Amino acid sequence: MSPAQDGAGWERMLAELLPHSRAVVAGHCGTLPMWVEGLGGRLLDGNCGIASDSRATMSRRIQVIDSHTEGEPTRVVVAGGPALAPGPARARAAVFEREYGGFRSTLLAEPRGFPAMVGALLLPPDAPEAVAQVLFFNNVGTLPMCVHGMLGVGRTLAHLGRIEGGIHRVETPAGDVHFTLEPEGTISVDNVPSRRVRRGVTLQTADHGPVTGDVAWGGNWFFLVDAHDQPVTARRIPALTAFARDIRGALERAHIAGDDGRPIDHVEIFGPPERDDADSKSFVLCPGGEYDRSPCGTGTSAKLACLYADGRLAPGQRWRQESVIGSVFEGSVRTTEAGLVPTIRGGVWITGETVLVVEGDDPYAEGIRW
């Protein structure tokens, strides 16, 4: 039985996360705090989760599990997050985006985080068939979907003993996805349906001349570039970042967006692989200006959609995408009534079980922000 199918399941689930703490979720309050109106806002009651140190300052605590997926970090919030009203993931994400920027930057900005980290807020699901609802966020805002983060969520739930092997449904702002915890412990994600919407779009960049690429959706919007003169190697990450930023600037000037009107905020640059067991190597610029250490699961999904549209990838055929640091995702596609569904598999490792502390007089309680 999933936590969603048991009325008290979510409260029990979070109360059992770590052996020495009770947790809070959906209006329940234990020894950890509930953020109700964002950092600095009113607590659920007068003293829930408040601790005083020798300086008599108020402190708040957020319980997280950290992991990395093929090098890219994920921070899953399991207690102490915002008390969002029940509802669909997209609606909850809109509230989180609008009202909880301080909470987001507390977790991901220095000194508690760093810009490449992606957050995942674990919430009770809206539908009883789902095991959880997850909102993903980065250093500048929310994300409709994050495959490396979903792999991290699956590994986190398994690490905490809250799920067993098999297929698990999760609600996200981009739509419902499924992850599979396989017998050998590996995890794969069946992503949202992915598609290419424009092929061969030529941009005039400010510093790198004309650049041609495709526009595709893989849970986020991507501009994918195969034809260029930039070697895709880890030693050239600063140059690749500048190139990708130049492309994104050209997209903005040309007013090119996804077919739903949302901006194309990810740029993916491809080159030949360095590993013998990979088909391609890529550099991915994320919305906040950081590069993805993993091969980027939504970016790989967008790549698979382009390959399928070009007749270069058959359903079930495996594609191994190498990241700029040398890690690999394995992907394939299948056709469904809803569209082309990519499956992405990658390695995930737990890196920490942490209670973040936010002291009331900390001048960087919401992180270092520019």
Residues classed as catalytic: 146, 296
Q: Which residues pair with 64 in a beta bridge?
A: 77, 354
112 Cβ partners below 8 Å, 6+ apart?
106, 356, 367
CA distance 88 to 90: 6
Give me 340's structure tokens: 């082309």
Beta strands in the chain (DSSP E): 51-52, 58-69, 72-79, 118-123, 132-137, 142-143, 166-171, 177-181, 187-190, 195-204, 210-217, 221-225, 266-271, 280-285, 319-322, 328-336, 339-346, 348-359
DSSP state of 194: B
What are the C-alpha distances in Å from 285 to residues 169, 197, 278?
A: 28, 20, 20
CA distance 178 to 189: 6
CA distance 346 to 181: 12
233 Cβ partners below 8 Å, 6+ apart?
274, 324
Give 284-287 contacts, CB < 8 A, sequence gap 24+: 284/323, 284/324, 285/240, 285/241, 285/244, 285/245, 285/248, 286/116, 286/138, 287/138, 287/140, 287/141, 287/143
**Cα angle 320, 326, 332; round to 5:** 15
**Contact status, residue 69 vs residue 148, Cβ threshold 8 Å:** yes
**Contact status, residue 354 vs residue 18, Cβ threshold 8 Å:** no
**Contact status, residue 191 vs residue 341, Cβ threshold 8 Å:** yes
Helix axes 89-99, 101-108, angle to 10 degrees: 80
